[in-house]
Amino acid sequence: MAYVISEPCIGTKDSSCVEVCPVDCIHPTPDEADFDQHEQLYIDPEECIDCDVCVEACPVDAITPLEQIPPEWEKYIAINAKYYERA
């Protein structure tokens, strides 16, 4: 997983990152039926191409490179991956 969406996204779910992602790896999007059922957005660990575009687009600095996740947000690595296991 190249990037992880963490705590600052909770309750915000700004979709700026969704709009700029070249590989459509950030979900749920505002157009998806389950958008309101989740408190944050998630990056698909298999699809992310490590392009950094989402990081620049995020207005709340919720997207962090995997290797720079602060210890208090490490749980979001598994949270992001788990969202994509349900499919």
Q: Which of 27, 14, 12, 26 is nearest to 58 (CA)?
A: 14
Alpha-carbon distance of 1 to 67, in angstroms, equals: 9
**Could you state, in order of their start, the residue ranges of all structural domains in the chain?**
3-85
- Give per-residue pLDDT as tens, 30-63: 999 999 999 999 999 889 999 999 999 999 999 9
Name the 3-class secondary structure at 3: strand
Q: What CATH architecture does domain 3-85 belong to?
A: 2-Layer Sandwich (3.30)
Tokens describing residue 64: 């962090």
Whether 18 shows a pLDDT value over 90: the answer reads: yes
**What rounded mean pLDDT belongs to the chain?**
94
